[in-house]
């Protein structure tokens, strides 16, 4: 309650004052919060405007407080957040309570942590309760209009605008071209794309958090409107199973279903994909009133599932947990798996994720992910007629900076799930860790544009990457070293040029990539040609330390005469040590690249 009162005070302040900021973030979700915190840390006067009482988006407000992936790739603000969650509960092992995730927490705990992170930034103001209406382009920057709770119009002027909304509403209002649904192969060029596209998006979910009130409790709710028991009989193994209406999904035991999203405090996140509360509707281009009407039906679907647990399976002791500041006890809004996807400076595709070096875009990396391509479509009314998409495994991947920058529209950065990616790879880039990283990169990009008084698209890629590395973030998804370890920044910079390349692979449900830093460097593993107009011998022989120093000197490196002991000249050099020396003496980031990773 205290936070809601504070939010109201902040809104009144916004109305009473003429608001001018450097960076305005519309949407305080997972991306938006990270963007606001990062931009403020870099000295930009920043404001986050969030319509609901909570920060965090899908991490908190949408109830998906079980993080998918990046357990071994925790960097930057994402790592700060998960470290704070782990500290709250007594360590990372305490977060492995449900089997869907290694990092789980109560939504209200995550929200409080994000509030503290935002409050710690002197140059960041968080305003809640304002509803985005439209944006008007100025010669430099934007006037962005909102309605307050009383229907009064509020205008905020900014130099750079960041779209952190759940469905890309700001991008659309700013005139950005976008795509919805399955993309045709003619647009993406992806091997697995459909010949003809359609507007079918992934299922959304109205998440609920429930708890066990004890064996003698009766928490049975009134029968929800439109309740149909047949919708839920195949949610798990139970006496009511009906094979004639099954959608062919695997059936788990009731115990496994409920422990799927078991949270550290004993509550259960119900985001169950097997004939439960996944719900199909493409509401992206609907009006606010139309969206609200559809969401009301989605809520009845979720409450219907709770009613089925209580009456069909006899679990009347289960009821909604007092988790959210909402009148109905459900999450504040649905978990949206898919949004508008803008046309950006670079289109990140499934094929790029599968084959890192098929293009040069990896050089522009600003976020990493390791979660499989995961699409939800079983709630679609015609699910049986939809294409049976069988996704090839992908390694862990790096997302390109150009995906955040819309074509033809200036002073705007797009974050959250609305970036320039294809429908297929959105099944991996939509997950919480990647979206937080996208937000942090958006904050860096916006702050640099303000500091340099230049358009967003004029900020060079390498400057953004340098700031992200300084903040402990990943550019490339190597598991060899973690942020803060010796050599981490060196391997991130050098591998972001292609001079040294790594290997990605799929191992069961996990995806990983390695630079093999401890292996001895071999001549045919060096790719210096494009960067330094230098041909390297095509040999699998190991490179000695003496030979490597001679190579660096030949490329113009200023190396002191006594830097290498004579007795060590014939010893081999590891890939890590080679990366450190290249980083030290040649500064690989001195060569700029465009948004597709091509040398300028």
- In this structure, of 79-83, 338-342, 380-384, the range with the lowest mean pLDDT score is 380-384
- In this structure, of 120-124, 146-150, 168-172, 568-572, the range with the lowest mean pLDDT score is 568-572
Q: DSSP label at 311?
A: I
Instruction: Report the SS3 class of residue 136.
Output: strand
Q: How many other C-beta atoms lie within 10 A of the C-beta of residue 561?
A: 5
Q: Which residue has the higher pLDDT, 457 or 531?
A: 457
Mean pLDDT confidence for 473-497: 98
Q: Which of 98, 101, 69, 67 is nearest to 256 (CA)?
A: 98
Structure token pair of residue 104: 């789980």
pLDDT (tens digit per residue) in 226-264: 999 999 999 999 999 999 999 999 999 999 999 999 999
pLDDT at residue 4 above 80? Answer: no
Alpha carbons 447 and 468: distance in angstroms, whole number:
12
Pairing of strands 131-137, 142-147: antiparallel
User: Which pLDDT score, from 0 to 100, does residue 528 have?
Assistant: 86
Residue 535: pLDDT band by 50, 70, 90 thresholds? Answer: confident
- Asked whether 335 and 269 are in contact (CB, 8 A), the reply is no
User: Which pLDDT score, from 0 to 100, does residue 235 have?
Assistant: 98
For 82-227, strand residue ranges (E) read 103-104, 124-128, 131-137, 142-147, 153-163, 178-179, 204-205, 208-212
Mean pLDDT confidence for 451-466: 98
pLDDT (tens digit per residue) in 546-584: 999 999 998 988 888 777 766 678 899 999 999 999 999
Mean pLDDT confidence for 361-375: 95
pLDDT (tens digit per residue) in 258-302: 999 999 999 999 999 999 999 999 999 999 999 999 999 999 999
Instruction: Report the SS3 class of residue 125.
Output: strand
Q: Which residue has the higher pLDDT, 18 or 356?
A: 356
Q: Which of 50, 101, 55, 44 is nearest to 81 (CA)?
A: 55
CA distances from 51 to 27, 126, 285, 344, 523 (A): 7, 11, 19, 26, 56
Q: How far is CA 466 from the centre of its chain?
A: 20
Q: How many other C-beta atoms lie within 10 A of the C-beta of residue 303?
A: 24
Q: Which of 76, 70, 63, 69 is nearest to 109 (CA)?
A: 63
pLDDT at residue 587 above 80? Answer: yes
Alpha carbons 446 and 439: distance in angstroms, whole number:
11
User: Which pLDDT score, from 0 to 100, does residue 393 have?
Assistant: 76
Residue 184: pLDDT band by 50, 70, 90 thresholds? Answer: very high
Element (H, E) at 549: helix 545-554
Q: Across the chain, what does the average pLDDT equal?
A: 94
User: Which pLDDT score, from 0 to 100, does residue 389 have?
Assistant: 62
pLDDT at residue 322 above 70? Answer: yes
Residue 388: pLDDT band by 50, 70, 90 thresholds? Answer: low
User: Which pLDDT score, from 0 to 100, does residue 384 have?
Assistant: 82
pLDDT at residue 391 above 70? Answer: no
Instruction: Report the SS3 class of residue 112.
Output: helix
- Asked whether 47 and 127 are in contact (CB, 8 A), the reply is yes
Alpha carbons 31 and 162: distance in angstroms, whole number:
10
CA distances from 440 to 38, 39, 417 (A): 6, 8, 14
Tabulate helix, strand, coil % of the chain (nearest 5). 35, 15, 50
- Bridge partners for 67 per DSSP: 103
Helix-helix angle 575-586:488-495, to 10 degrees:
80
């Amino acid at each position: 309650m205290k936070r809601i009162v504070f939010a109201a005070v902040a809104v009144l302040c916004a109305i009473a004052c003429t608001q001018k900021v450097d960076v305005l973030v519309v949407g305080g979700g997972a991306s938006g919060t990270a963007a606001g915190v990062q931009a403020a840390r870099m000295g930009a006067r920043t404001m986050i405007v969030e319509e609901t009482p909570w920060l965090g988006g899908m991490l908190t407000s949408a109830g998906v407080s079980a993080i998918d992936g990046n357990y071994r790739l925790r960097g930057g603000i994402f790592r700060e957040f998960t470290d704070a969650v782990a500290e709250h509960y007594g360590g990372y092992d305490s977060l492995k309570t449900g089997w869907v995730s290694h990092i789980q927490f109560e939504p209200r705990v995550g929200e409080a942590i994000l509030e503290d992170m935002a409050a710690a930034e002197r140059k960041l103001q968080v305003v809640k309760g304002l509803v985005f209406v439209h944006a008007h382009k100025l010669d430099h920057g934007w006037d962005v209009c909102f309605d307050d709770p009383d229907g009064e119009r509020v205008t905020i002027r900014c130099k750079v605008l960041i779209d952190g909304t759940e469905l890309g509403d700001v991008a659309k209002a700013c005139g950005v071209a976008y795509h919805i649904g399955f993309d045709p192969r003619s647009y993406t060029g992806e091997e697995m794309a459909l010949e003809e596209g359609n507007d079918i998006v992934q299922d959304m979910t109205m998440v609920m958090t429930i708890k066990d009130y004890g064996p003698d409790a009766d928490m049975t709710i009134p029968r929800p409107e439109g309740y149909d028991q047949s919708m839920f009989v195949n949610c798990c193994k139970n006496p009511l199973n009906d094979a004639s209406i099954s959608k062919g999904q695997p059936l788990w035991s009731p115990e496994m279903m409920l422990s799927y999203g078991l949270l550290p405090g004993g509550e259960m996140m119900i985001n169950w994909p097997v004939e439960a509360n996944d719900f199909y509707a493409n509401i992206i281009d609907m009006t606010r009133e139309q969206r609200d009407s559809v969401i009301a039906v989605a809520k009845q679907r979720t409450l219907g599932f709770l009613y089925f647990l209580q009456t069909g399976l006899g679990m009347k002791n289960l009821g909604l947990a007092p988790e959210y500041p909402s009148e109905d006890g459900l999450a504040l809004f649905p978990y949206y798996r898919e949004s508008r996807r803008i046309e950006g400076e670079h289109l990140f595709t499934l094929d790029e994720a599968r084959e890192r070096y098929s293009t040069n875009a990896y050089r522009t990396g600003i976020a990493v992910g390791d979660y499989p391509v995961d699409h939800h479509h079983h709630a679609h009314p015609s699910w049986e007629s939809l294409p049976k998409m069988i996704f090839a495994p992908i390694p862990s991947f790096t997302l390109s900076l150009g995906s955040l920058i819309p074509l033809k529209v200036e002073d705007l950065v797009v974050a959250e799930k609305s970036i320039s990616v294809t429908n297929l790879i959105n099944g991996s880039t939509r997950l919480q860790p990647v979206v937080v990283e996208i937000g942090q990169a958006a904050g860096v990009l916006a702050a640099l544009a303000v500091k340099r008084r230049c358009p967003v698209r004029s900020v060079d890629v390498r400057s953004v990457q340098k700031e992200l590395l300084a903040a402990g973030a990943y550019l490339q998804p190597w598991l060899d070293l973690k942020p803060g370890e010796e050599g981490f920044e060196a391997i991130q910079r050098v591998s972001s040029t292609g001079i040294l390349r790594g290997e990605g692979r799929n191992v069961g449900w996990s995806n990983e990539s390695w630079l093999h830093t401890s292996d001895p460097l071999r001549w045919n593993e060096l790719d210096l040609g494009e960067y330094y107009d230098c041909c390297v011998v095509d040999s699998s022989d190991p490179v000695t330390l003496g030979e490597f120093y001679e190579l660096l000197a030949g490329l113009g490196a200023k190396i002191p005469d006594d830097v290498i002991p004579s007795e060590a000249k014939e010893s081999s050099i590891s890939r890590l040590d080679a990366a450190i020396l290249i980083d030290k003496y040649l500064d690989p980031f001195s060569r700029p690249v465009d948004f597709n990773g091509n040398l300028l």
